[in-house]
Structures are given as C-alpha cells and as structure tokens.
Copies of this chain bind each other. A is one copy, B any other.
Amino acid sequence: MKSNSPTNLQNSALKQDFLADFKVGVDNVVFSVDTQCNRLLVLLRKRKQEPFNDCWSLPGTLVRHGESLQEAAYRTLAEKIQVNNLYLEQLYTFGNPGRDPREAPESFGVRYLSVSYFALVRYEEAQIIAQKENNLAWYQVQEVPQLAFDHNQILEYGSRRLRNKLEYSPIAFEVLPERFTLNDIYQLYCTILGENFSDYSNFRSRLLKLGFLSDTGVKVSRGAGRPASLYCFDAIAFAPLKDKPLVFI
C-alpha cells in the first residue's frame, strides 16, 4: 500500500512530533432569569483545585473517553443542577496556546482547549444540587467577579449570543416559567436588552400576532392593579414557524 512506503512513514513520524496534544474541556455559560426580581443570572462554580483554586469559574469538565462534546456538557450540568427543561447549544471554541496555566511554559506540554456551550434553564425548576461549602451559585451577570482562565471572555461571548438570539428566536420561553404573563416576557426582554428596547403595548401585540402563545385563562394578581392572564408557549403552533425568520422585538 502506498501510504506504508518508507518515505510516507518518515513524513508521518516527523509530522507527529510537531503536533500538539490536547485535553478538551467543555465550559457552560448557563443563564437563567429570576422573574420575581428581574435579574439575569449565570451559574458559577467556585473551583476547589489548582489552578485557580478558590476562584469562581464557569461550570465545566474535561471530555472523557467515548464521550461527545455535548454529552460532556450535559454531564456537568446534571452534576450541578436538576432541570426538567434545558436549552443547549455550542458557543465557541477557545484554544489559544497559554490559555490554561497547566500548559508547560515552553508550550511543548499538553494543551487545554475549551469548547464552550450556551445553556438556558428555568430558575424555578433549576434546583442547585447541594455542594459542600456552597461552591455553586447564581450570580447576576452584571456582578460577576474575576473568573478563572478566560472565562470572563467566554461569558461575554455568551451574553452577546443571548442578546442576539432573543431578537429572532423563541429562547425566552426556555428561561421563563411554564406559565407566565405577557409582562413577564416584557420584563425579561428589558432585563437582557436594556430598558426602552420597545414600547410595551407594541411588543405585546407583535408577540400575540405570532400566534404561538396561548392564553390559559388563568389570571394572576400581583399586588395592586388588574390581574394578568397567564400564557404558555404552544410548541405545536410554533412548529411550522421553526426555521422561519421571526422578529420578536
């Protein structure tokens, strides 16, 4: 066989020496929204090992034998929180040499690559699995401290994706509770996109006109004022709109 000729073997051996060896990590940017207080939250974990011991970080893990990237992402999340519903998509891959201090300084040691994932969970459903020393917590995105590795950069990347997707994709319903008021959605959009991104009444009618929100008939009263209808996301009505360009804002 041609590829087993001496020259090819030699080339192959030479080449192999150049190649970097990698461990591949998966880091999750897990967003949630506390509808009560209109706070955009991200799940952080305090590291209990070197490097960056005692430093807050995105929850992540290294990929194991036979495990896909997404499986690794799910595994980490399953270890940290219990959720019924979970939205997960790949975000970006960070692999610059030197991004992990475990890499030998001369850069001839093993490299650490991070494939980041973007996740959305419902705050009410998402029970944080108790860890010793309270090393897992929701942080308000604006109040996130200095994180381990390049995790602040990854978080920034995730925030941008969140803002963008909010405008053309129904991801808001992945973080809202099962049943919500129209004002809940509006507040959510305000929290993420900033105040005055749109007039409430226009936002409202645009959203209803899309046709995949169904009124449960149930009313809920929050303090003074007229009680609001609880709506829920109608996946069946939404199905035909999938892959179609939608405008939510």
Residues of chain A having any CB pair with chain B under 8 Å:
2-3, 8, 12, 15, 18-24, 49-50, 53, 62-69, 90, 92-93, 95-97, 107-108, 111, 113, 115
Which residues of the partner chain B approach A22 to less than 8 Å between Cβ atoms? Answer: 21-24, 63, 113
Partner among B20, B95, B96 whose Cβ is within 8 Å of the Cβ of A64: B20
A-B residue pairs, 8 tightest by C-beta? A22-B22, A66-B107, A69-B95, A93-B93, A18-B64, A3-B50, A68-B96, A20-B65
Which residues of the partner chain B approach A67 to less than 8 Å between Cβ atoms? Answer: 20, 97
For residue A114, give the distance in angstroms from its CB to the closest CB of chain B: 10
Known: A15-B62, A24-B24, A66-B108. 7 other contacts (CB 8 A): A18-B65, A19-B63, A22-B23, A22-B63, A65-B107, A68-B97, A93-B93
Which residues of the partner chain B approach A93 to less than 8 Å between Cβ atoms? Answer: 69, 90, 93, 115
- Copies of this protein in the complex: 2
A64 to B19, Cβ gap below 8 A?
yes
A21 to B19, Cβ gap below 8 A?
no
Partner among B19, B23, B50, B97 whose Cβ is within 8 Å of the Cβ of A19: B23
Q: Which residue of B lies closest to A65 (CB)?
A: B20
Which residues of the partner chain B approach A8 to less than 8 Å between Cβ atoms? Answer: 49
- Which of A8, A49, A65, A92 has the most chain B CB atoms closer than 10 A to its own CB? A65
For residue A49, give the distance in angstroms from its CB to the closest CB of chain B: 6
Given A49-B8, A50-B3, A53-B2, check contact A20 B97 (CB 8 Å).
no
B66 to A97, Cβ gap below 8 A?
yes
For residue A228, give the distance in angstroms from its CB to the closest CB of chain B: 31
B90 to A115, Cβ gap below 8 A?
no
Which residues of the partner chain B approach A90 to less than 8 Å between Cβ atoms? Answer: 92-93
For residue A156, give the distance in angstroms from its CB to the closest CB of chain B: 14
